[in-house]
A and B are shown apart, each in its own frame.
Chain A
Amino acid sequence: MAKPLLAVDGLRLRRASREVLRGVSLAVRCGEVHALLGLNGSGKSSLAYALMGCTGYAPESGTIGFDGKDLSGLTITERARLGLTLAWQEPARIEGLTVEQYLAAGMRERRENRMVAALEAVGLPPARYIRRTLDSSLSGGERKRIELAAVYAMQPKLAILDEPDSGIDVLSLGDITALIRRMAGEGTATLVITHRDELAEACDTASLMCEGAITQTGEPQSVREHYRSRCRPCDALLGRMGPDRPGLSEEANEKGGRA
Chain B
Amino acid sequence: MSHFEAMADAYSQAGGDPQLLVLPTVASVVISGNKVLSAHAVPGVEFAAEEQPNGVKASIRVLPRTRLATPVHLCFGVLPERGLQEITASYDVGEDADVTFQAHCTFPNAVEVRHVMDATMRIGRGAVLRYTETHFHGPAGGVEVLPTARVVVEEGGQFVTTFNLIKGRAGTVSLDYVVDVAENGIAELTTRILGSGQDRIKVAETIRLNGTAARGLAKARLALAGDARGEVIGTTEGNAPETRGHIDCVEIVRDRAVASAIPIVRVTDPQAQVTHEAAIGTVNRKELETLMARGLGEEAAVDAIVRGMLAG
Indicate if the CB atoms of A76 and B293 lie closer than 8 Å: yes
In chain B, residues 282-300, which have Cβ atoms closer than 8 Å to a Cβ of chain A? 284-287, 289-298
Chain B nearest CB from A122 CB (Å) reads: 16
Name A77's contact: one of B250, B286, B292 (CB within 8 Å): B292
Question: Bound state CA distance, A105 and B307, in angstroms?
Answer: 14
Question: Bound state CA distance, A106 and B304, in angstroms?
Answer: 13
Known contacts A97-B304, A101-B304; is-contact A77 B312 (Cβ 8 Å): no
A91 CB–B CB distance under 8 Å: yes
Indicate if the CB atoms of A85 and B293 lie closer than 8 Å: yes
Indicate if the CB atoms of A105 and B295 lie closer than 8 Å: yes
Known contacts A55-B285, A77-B298, A97-B305; is-contact A105 B291 (Cβ 8 Å): yes
Indicate if the CB atoms of B305 and A154 lie closer than 8 Å: no
Known contacts A76-B289, A95-B309, A96-B311; is-contact A81 B295 (Cβ 8 Å): yes
Q: In the assembled complex, which residues on chain A have CB atoms less than 8 Å from the CB atom of B312?
A: 95-97, 133, 135
Q: In the assembled complex, which residues on chain A have CB atoms less than 8 Å from the CB atom of B287?
A: 92-94
Question: Bound state CA distance, A93 and B307, in angstroms?
Answer: 14
CB-based nearest B residue for A86: B293
Most buried by A among B287, B290, B291: B290
In chain A, residues 74-99, which have Cβ atoms closer than 8 Å to a Cβ of chain B? 75-77, 79-81, 85-86, 88, 91-97
Q: In the assembled complex, which residues on chain B have CB atoms less than 8 Å from the CB atom of A85?
A: 293-295
Indicate if the CB atoms of A76 and B308 lie closer than 8 Å: no
Q: In the assembled complex, which residues on chain A have CB atoms less than 8 Å from the CB atom of B232?
A: none
Indicate if the CB atoms of A75 and B292 lie closer than 8 Å: yes
A54 CB–B CB distance under 8 Å: yes
Indicate if the CB atoms of B307 and A106 lie closer than 8 Å: no
A52 CB–B CB distance under 8 Å: yes
A150 CB–B CB distance under 8 Å: yes
Indicate if the CB atoms of B298 and A75 lie closer than 8 Å: yes
CB-based nearest B residue for A101: B304
Indicate if the CB atoms of A154 and B308 lie closer than 8 Å: no
Indicate if the CB atoms of B296 and A77 lie closer than 8 Å: yes
Chain A nearest CB from B304 CB (Å) reads: 6
Chain A nearest CB from B308 CB (Å) reads: 3
Known contacts A92-B287, A96-B312; is-contact A52 B293 (Cβ 8 Å): yes
CB-based nearest B residue for A84: B293
Known contacts A95-B308, A133-B308, A133-B312; is-contact A105 B286 (Cβ 8 Å): no
Indicate if the CB atoms of B311 and A154 lie closer than 8 Å: no
The list of the 10 closest CB pairs from A to B, nearest first, reads: A96-B312, A96-B308, A106-B294, A97-B308, A76-B292, A95-B312, A96-B311, A80-B295, A92-B290, A92-B286
Give me the interface of A with B, judged by CB distance under 8 Å. 52, 54-55, 75-77, 79-81, 85-86, 88, 91-97, 101-102, 105-106, 108, 133, 135, 150, 154
Can you spell out 25 A-B residue pairs with CB atoms less than 8 angstroms apart? A54-B289, A55-B289, A75-B292, A76-B293, A77-B296, A77-B298, A81-B295, A85-B293, A92-B287, A94-B291, A94-B304, A94-B305, A94-B308, A95-B312, A96-B307, A96-B308, A96-B310, A96-B311, A101-B304, A101-B308, A105-B296, A106-B295, A108-B295, A133-B312, A154-B295
Give me the interface of B with A, judged by CB distance under 8 Å. 250, 284-287, 289-298, 301, 304-305, 307-312
